[in-house]
Amino acid sequence: MSINPEHTSLPSSPSASQLDEVKQAIKSLLHQPDYDDGSAGPVLVRLAWHAAGTYCAATNTGGSNGAGMRYEKEGGDPANAGLQHARTFLEPIKKASPWITYSDLWTLAAVVAVSEMGGPNIPWQGGRTDFTDDSRVPPRGRLPDGSKGADHLRWIFYRMGFDDREIVALSGAHNLGRCHSDRSGFEGKWVNNPTRFSNTYFKLLKMHDWKNKVLANGLEQYVYVDEDLKDEDPELAEEETLMMLPTDMALLEDPSFRVWVDKFAEDKELFFRDFAAVFAKLLELGIQRDVGGRVVNEENLKDGYRSAPKKSDSSGRPEWDQNEEQVGHEAGRLKKENEQYSKKEKSRVVVKAKL
């Protein structure tokens, strides 16, 4: 992603009021009572993480610029399973503010979500553009595999230019959200309150005696069950069971990683500072800016702050959205998926209430 010296006409920026309007819209959509733990926040953070985490320093490819996940070539990566929900949550904002690029919207949404969930304020710069085809989409296989160990973590994160301290800090995002067997293959949440950003993940990682558990699909994870609660209320104990991935346990077992697990568990403010800095770094990987902060990547379109058109909610030919390689009509299709998900969750709550 080299700088193109022919970029003499620089992209313009949105007004402060336009940006504030988008931020407020993001805040308004975070409350999703029928989605995971009542919040879209964690999945929005995961969306930005996965969009940016494809970066490779050696080839200077991948990263958050381009919003390549709109294309099947990247969006269809099994590692990105479930992120269609995050993209669908954001689609109404794109429709209301078509000036913003998907790549800016996804990254901004994560920054706003972290702050709204009690986390640090993360520096953010806009100006990314959206790819108009999938020719620059990075290859699959660049995202972390939760079933691996310390060597795998270093292979993934060193490729992006992170050190051990930054790897542990970024892992602190596991304080948010939960795993689903139909997405990552793993199941459960890391902490009791997965919609509140804190350093609890590190505290629990150190505190509990994690037991190995083999899931029905053959994957191994680690779980902690409150035995006292299990005796009193087995169903609630099952619901409150916490889990850790093999990559999480690797942070405990590797001496270099463990140093930072200990520090972040003891010092919330240190973790917040480190996380804010490293997450901002993650979102900027592969992006070239001029002295004014505007993006001048070679692949960015000349003469304007370009945004891909919003996806259509109506039926039709996929190429009418952007081109024939675009994941067509995602908004309409995924809206139905989310409606089905909501009905399923409501039924589960009703059944539970009757028990």
Q: Give the pLDDT score at 236.
A: 57
In degrees to the nearest 10, what's the CA dihedral of 108, 133, 92, 304? 60
27 and 135 share one domain = yes
What's the CATH code of the domain at 267? 1.10.420.10
57 and 128 share one domain = yes
Can you give the residue range of the structural domain that contains 298?
A: 16-142+287-314+327-344
Question: Is residue 297 within 8 Å of residue 1, measured between CB atoms?
Answer: yes
262 and 166 share one domain = yes
In a domain, residue 170? The reply is yes
The helix/strand/coil state of 68 is: helix
Q: Is 65 buried (19+), middle (13-18) or exposed (0-12) by CB count in 10 A? A: buried
The residues, any chain, with a CB within 8 Å of residue 160's CB and separated by 6 or more, are 53, 55, 56, 57, 282, 285
Question: Is residue 50 within 8 Å of residue 83, measured between CB atoms?
Answer: yes
Phi first, then psi: what are they for 283, rounded to 5°?
Answer: -70, -20
250 and 169 share one domain = yes
In a domain, residue 61? The reply is yes
Burial 11-24 (b: 16+ CB within 10 A, else e): beebeeeebebbbe
In a domain, residue 6? The reply is no
Cβ count within 10 A of residue 255: 8
54 and 121 share one domain = yes
Paired tokens of 51: 């969009």
- Provide the domain count of the chain: 2
208 and 177 share one domain = yes
Cβ count within 10 A of residue 62: 26
80 and 154 share one domain = no
In a domain, residue 186? The reply is yes
Q: Give the pLDDT score at 65.
A: 94
Of 133, 128, 77, 121, give the one whose Cα is nearest residue 100: 128
In degrees to the nearest 10, what's the CA dihedral of 138, 144, 146, 148? 110
Of 109, 103, 126, give the one whose Cα is nearest residue 11: 126
Q: Is 354 buried (19+), middle (13-18) or exposed (0-12) by CB count in 10 A? A: exposed
In a domain, residue 354? The reply is no
The helix/strand/coil state of 169 is: helix
- Integer Cα distance of 124 and 140 in angstroms: 26
- Integer Cα distance of 302 and 288 in angstroms: 14
108 and 204 share one domain = no
Q: Which residues are catalytic?
A: 50, 190
Q: Give the pLDDT score at 297.
A: 81
89 and 137 share one domain = yes
56 and 113 share one domain = yes
201 and 274 share one domain = yes
What's the CATH code of the domain at 32? 1.10.520.10
The helix/strand/coil state of 220 is: strand
The residues, any chain, with a CB within 8 Å of residue 60's CB and separated by 6 or more, are 1, 2, 286
In a domain, residue 68? The reply is yes
In a domain, residue 353? The reply is no
Within the chain, which residues score under 70 in pLDDT? 1-12, 226-240, 300-355
Question: Is residue 7 within 8 Å of residue 296, measured between CB atoms?
Answer: yes
In a domain, residue 306? The reply is yes
81 and 24 share one domain = yes
